[in-house]
Amino acid sequence: MKNNTISIHTSVQQALAILEDLNFPLFVLSDDEKLVGTLTDGDVRRGIMGGKSLDDTVEAFMHRSFRSVMA
């Protein structure tokens, strides 16, 4: 699970490099390591189309309304 988690401060360019090797979304963690969002390549595409920059952090692109399941 650690391989698909990133910090909320990660740049979108770094996140895209990680996403390239994965077949599932990235989980975005806050500074206190709480799950605050998910990120897919589709989220990045929609953000760019909406005027956001690849220099922004994933916080600007992430999906905040996600569902999670407790194991």
| Angle made by CA atoms 43, 51, 30, in degrees to the nearest 5 | 50
Cβ–Cβ under 8 Å, residues 14 and 54: no
The strand pair at 26-29 and 5-7 is best described as parallel
Q: Which tens digits make up the pLDDT trace of 31-68?
A: 999 999 999 999 999 999 999 999 999 999 999 987 77
Q: What is the pLDDT of residue 40?
A: 94
**Predicted model pTM:** 0.86
Q: What is the pLDDT of residue 66?
A: 77
CB atoms within 10 A of CB 43: 22
